[in-house]
Amino acid sequence: MLELKNVTFAVQTEFGEKKIIDNISLKIDEKFVAFTGPNGGGKSTLAKLIMGLYKPTSGKIYFDGTDITEMSITDRSKLGIGYAFQAPVKFKGITVRDLISIASGKKLNVTEICSYLSQVGLCAREYVDREVNNELSGGELKRIEIATAMAKSPKLTLFDEPEAGIDLWSFNNLISVFEKLEEQTNGSILIISHQERILNMAQRVIVITSGKVSQDGPKDEILPGLLSANVCKTLADNM
């Protein structure tokens, strides 16, 4: 479904060129894949490269066999790629109803919009005509972002730390929402997460460290190591 071939993304800094993504090659056909790894490792950057928000410095990206490396965000979206941002974008005047309608590609009635919102634990009717702006709390924005990605129902959805800022009760619901999504979708779900319970749902876990794939394999092989030794090692390294 998705293939990255020698993808590098470099930026110019005052200290010279910095490779944020460093020659990553990956092939993903699984239904549920999780990306994890230390802060600043390059996970969000990788997601933005896949969605087309950034263009790679070198390398190729293929989706269902098509070379999408030079494709616009819009065209990738139309091909069936979706991305729920780590930091949701705020607008002035655009409402929750607008966003979810745009995502689903048709005018939705209140009941349909509510069904997406209640999945993410938002008491729907109150939110339909709220503006997606600063007046919403961080957690509310995050849930609307997830509901929007679901309304789009793409073949490949990237969720960037969907659990961040979401309270415990809703977190449990979020897990079941992703379980349901996994059952229903005939595409792939790629989740970037630091949460054990989310990583646990994945078939495959990929660890991104300093712009490279440092570990990659079935959940049962990767998770135990991550949860014990690596955490201590990272902590020790930082000391």
Partner 1 sequence: MSELSAIQKNMLKEIAGYEEIPEGAYNLRSNGALAGRRTTANIDIQTKTDKPGIDIIIKPGTKNERVDIPVILTETGLDDLVYNDFYIGEGADVLIVAGCGIHNAGGLKSEHDGIHAFHVGKNAKVKYVENHYGEGEGTGEKILNPTTEVEIDEGGYMEMETSQIRGVDSTYRKTKAKLGDRAILVIREKILTHGHQKATTDFLVDLDGVDSGAHVISRSVATEDSYQKYISCVNGNNRCNGHTECDAILMDNGQVDAVPMVNAHTTEARLIHEAAIGKIAGEQLDKLMTLGLTEKEAEEEIVNGFLR
Ligand X SMILES: Nc1ncnc2c1ncn2[C@@H]1O[C@H](COP(=O)(O)OP(=O)(O)OP(=O)(O)O)[C@@H](O)[C@H]1O
| Cβ 164 vs Cβ 196: under 8 Å | no
Partner whose binding site includes residue 150, from ligand X, partner 1, Mg ion, none (CB under 5 to 8 Å by kind): none
Partner whose binding site includes residue 93, from ligand X, Mg ion, partner 1, none (CB under 5 to 8 Å by kind): partner 1
Q: Is 41 in the site for ligand X (CB under 6 A)?
A: yes
Q: Which is nearer to partner 1, 45 or 148 (CB)?
A: 148
The minimum distance between CB 107 and partner 1, in angstroms, equals: 13
Q: Is 142 in the site for ligand X (CB under 6 A)?
A: no
- Angle (CA) 26-32-36 rounded to 5° is 65
* Cα–Cα separations (whole angstroms), residue 189 to 58, 87, 139, 182: 25, 19, 21, 7
Q: Is 20 in the site for ligand X (CB under 6 A)?
A: yes
Interface characters, 127-156, with partner 1 (x: CB under 8 A): ----x----------------x---x----
Residue 5 in tokens: 């071939």
Q: Is 116 in the site for partner 1 (CB under 8 A)?
A: no
Contacts of 43 (CB under 8 A, 6+ apart): 35, 36, 37, 160, 192, 208
Q: Which is nearer to Mg ion, 43 or 142 (CB)?
A: 43
The minimum distance between CB 152 and ligand X, in angstroms, equals: 22
Cα–Cα dist 149/157, whole Å: 7
Sole residue written with tokens 């979708």: 185
Q: How many helices (H) and strands (E) does the chain have?
A: 10, 10
Cα–Cα dist 112/103, whole Å: 13
From candidates 11, 67, 89, 217, binder to partner 1 by CB under 8 A: 89
Q: Which is nearer to partner 1, 116 or 213 (CB)?
A: 116
Binding site for partner 1 (CB under 8 A): 51, 53, 72-74, 77-78, 82-83, 85, 89, 91-95, 98-99, 102-103, 105, 131, 148, 152
